[in-house]
Structure 1
Amino acid sequence: MDALERLRELCLVLPEVTERLSHGEPTWFIRDKKTFVMFANQHHDDRVGFWCAAPEGAQEELLATDPDRFFRPPYVGHRGWIGVYLDIEDVDWDHLADIVRDAYRHVAPKSLAALVD
């Protein structure tokens, strides 16, 4: 399974999530309104990854811990969003599942966020 398919699987399992193109890339929305994850296929560089919402402080922690895997994405990085590279050899999909769930919880209404483990 390629990176896009794995990311899609992580997103679409969450309550009331839909997918559609936004800015030419697959993007996942909660209740078809609020973006929480965007795929980035060489969107502003030559890398493949995704951008996602994140709780306060998560961006700084991940960038300090592993700058080869995580980055500050353009446009949304100033709001604390995380960029995650998917074109590396050893993608930790379990860790990325946690990051996607955190992004969902950060953006979702409380009633939906409470449904996610």
Structure 2
Amino acid sequence: MSNDSQLKSERGIDVLKRTRRICMPLPEVAENVDGFGHVVFQVGGKTFVRLGEHNGHVGLSFKSDLETQHLLIQQGGYYRTPYVGQHGWVSAEMPPDWDALADLLKEAYLRTAPKKLVKRLLESGRENG
């Protein structure tokens, strides 16, 4: 599915392409557009990464837990996602450290995916790839 039209700026399209390279190889990931016009990456119908662009600002947020959220905010480069931050969602400042972010997006997948998919991924060793 091509959702490039949802992210219009050069930076937005670049962030989407990089996020696809991280998320789409994971088992049973789907890319969709939610009711707010955000590009979302989902597994089992549940969102684990959300991208959006508003007034030239590109935003990327991902599912986490409150402890990790707190640690990421303290280290810098991340902030509590508006509206859903109380559930552990974290947003990355742009441009992000893509190496660190790749690991965090894979962790978001592992938090969201059904246990059978998590097991399959961990057994294949692809969570580090």
TM range (shorter): 0.7 to 0.9
TM-score w.r.t. structure 2 length? Answer: 0.77
Q: Distance in 1 between matches of 2:37 and 2:49?
A: 14
Q: Distance in 2 between matches of 1:77 and 1:46?
A: 22
2:73 aligned with 1:63: yes
Q: Distance in 2 between matches of 1:113 and 1:83?
A: 23
Name the stretch that deviates more: 93-102 or 46-55. Answer: 46-55
Structure 1 gaps, min length 5: none
SS in 2 for 1:71: strand
The answer (yes or no) to whether the contact 1:34–1:107 under 8 Å persists in 2 is yes
Q: Which has the larger Rg?
A: 2
Q: Distance in 1 between matches of 2:75 and 2:97?
A: 14
SS in 1 for 2:108: helix
The answer (yes or no) to whether the contact 2:40–2:50 under 8 Å persists in 1 is yes
Structure 2 gaps, min length 5: 1-12
1:103 alignment partner in structure 2: 108
Q: C-alpha root-mean-square deviation of aligned residues, in Å?
A: 1.7
The one-character-per-residue Cα deviations of 1:78-117 (angstroms, maximum 9, x if unpaired) are 101111123x3xx321111100000000111111122142
Q: Distance in 2 between matches of 1:30 and 1:77?
A: 20
SS in 1 for 2:117: helix
SS in 2 for 1:15: coil
Moved over 6 A (4+): none
TM alignment of 1:1-117, pairs within 5 A:
2-22=14-34, 23-31=36-44, 33-42=45-54, 47-66=57-76, 69-86=77-94, 88=95, 91-114=96-119, 115-116=121-122, 117=127
